[in-house]
Amino acid sequence: MKDQLKSQEILKHEMSGSKHFQRSWREAEKRWNLKKNELAPNLPEGFTDHHGIAIMVFTGSIRESFNRAVKSAGKSYKSYREEFNYKYLHYYLTVALQLLYKDCGGEHHVSYRGFPKDVHWMSTESGLVKFGHFLHTSSSEWIAHEMGNASFITVYGCSGVPVHNFSDYPEEEEVVFPGYEIFTATQVEEDPKEFSLVSTGKWCSNFNCALVQGKR
C-alpha cells in the first residue's frame, strides 16, 4: 500500500470519485507551487510537495467533509480500508504534521477554538477526550471566538502544529492537531459553555497506519 501511495494510484482513484476533492487538491497544488520556494528553507528533511499540498487542502473548503469521513472511518479497520475515500489526504496530512511537529518539552502550547453549536466534552466519567479527527484551532483567542461562541475550548496541547504559513488566511493563526492526542476535559465553573482541554501526554490512534501496514 505504501508503494501505491508513493505512485499516486490511490490519489488518482480517490479524485476520480469526488469532484470536490479533485478540485480542492488541484487548487491547493497551484497555491503550493506559488509558496513552496518561500517556505522551503524552513521545511524539515523529507517534507515533499504532497505534504505541503495536503496541509493546504485541509485549510480549505474540504475540511468539514474530510473530518466527518475521518471520524466515521476510525470506527473500524474494515471501514477505513473499504469505505474511506480520503486515504491519500489522511496519510500525507498526518505525516506532514509529524514532520513539522516540534517537541513541546513538557510545556503545553495554548490555542483556542469556538464552536457555533453546543459541544459536550464530558462524555465519560474520566473526562478523557480524543478528537478522532483533525482539529483546527487558533493561537488567537479573539479569532477563535469569531468561529463561534456556543461552546469554547482552550487547548493546552503538545501535538498541535502552526500552519498559518500554508494558509491563504495567515491572520487566522491556525494550529492543527492530528486527532490522536488524549486530553482531560474540565468545565470552566464561571461559564458552563467553556472547557479546558489539558494534554495527558498520551497519544492513541485507531488507524494505526492501517493503509500502510495492512493490519491492526
Residue 16 sits in which domain range? 2-102
Residue from 92, 69, 85 nearest 17 by CA: 85
End of a domain among 80, 102, 124? 102
User: Which cell numbers hold the place of 36?
Assistant: 513552496
Q: Do 94 and 16 reside in the same domain of the chain?
A: yes
Q: Do 124 and 75 reside in the same domain of the chain?
A: no
Q: Do 160 and 82 reside in the same domain of the chain?
A: no
pLDDT band at 127 (very low <50, low <70, confident <90, very high): confident
pLDDT band at 125 (very low <50, low <70, confident <90, very high): low
Q: Do 83 and 134 reside in the same domain of the chain?
A: no
Q: Which residue has the higher pLDDT, 73 or 58?
A: 58
CB contact set of 70 (below 8 Å; sequence gap of 6+): 84, 86, 90, 132, 133, 134, 179
Residue 186 is predicted with a pLDDT of 87
- Mean pLDDT, residues 73-98: 88
Q: Can you tell me the distance from the alpha carbon of 112 to that of 139, in angstroms, rounded to the nearest whole number?
A: 6
Q: How many domains does the chain have?
A: 2
Angle CA(57)–CA(62)–CA(68) in degrees, nearest 5?
Answer: 120
Q: Which residue has the higher pLDDT, 126 or 162?
A: 162
Q: Do 9 and 96 reside in the same domain of the chain?
A: yes
Domain membership flag for residue 181: yes
Q: What is the CATH number of the domain that holds 125?
A: 3.90.176.10
Q: Can you tell me the distance from the alpha carbon of 59 to that of 102, in angstroms, rounded to the nearest whole number?
A: 20
Residue 3 is predicted with a pLDDT of 67
Q: What is the pLDDT of residues 150-200, one digit of tens each?
A: 999 999 999 999 999 999 889 999 999 998 899 998 888 788 889 999 999
Q: Do 115 and 91 reside in the same domain of the chain?
A: no
Q: Do 85 and 63 reside in the same domain of the chain?
A: yes
Residue 110 is predicted with a pLDDT of 96
End of a domain among 81, 102, 123? 102
Domain membership flag for residue 208: no
